[in-house]
């Protein structure tokens, strides 16, 4: 089974994002997290296994705001944000 072009671009964007050294605003980091989580998770049930707290609440809220997107749409948004940051 071969990977789609979108999957390859997504993995490349993730790799580049993982190596970023610049500090990002918290709201942008939450958006990036939400797109990644939506792109890589089948359901949101896995989120509830994380420790409870304010940080988890912000992450869940960011994810819920984009939960209407398909995984492919989330991948495209993630790629777009990372590409714009690394211009």
Return the structure tokens found at 68: 């209407």
Residue 45: band (very low, low, confident or very high) from pLDDT cuts 50, 70, 90: low
pTM of the predicted protein model: 0.84
Q: What is the CA radius of gyration of the chain?
A: 13
Q: Is the pLDDT assigned to residue 4 strictly greater than 90? A: yes
22 phi/psi in degrees, rounded to 5: -75, 145
How is domain 5-85 classified at the CATH fold level? Acyl-CoA Binding Protein (1.20.80)
């Amino acid at each position: 089974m071969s990977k789609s072009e979108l999957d390859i671009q997504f993995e490349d964007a993730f790799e580049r994002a993982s190596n970023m050294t610049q500090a990002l605003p918290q709201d942008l980091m939450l958006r990036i997290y939400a797109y990644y989580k939506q792109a890589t998770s089948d359901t949101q049930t896995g989120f509830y296994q994380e420790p409870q707290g304010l940080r988890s609440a912000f992450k869940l809220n960011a994810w819920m705001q984009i939960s209407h997107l398909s995984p492919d749409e989330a991948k495209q948004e993630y790629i777009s944000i990372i590409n714009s940051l690394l211009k």
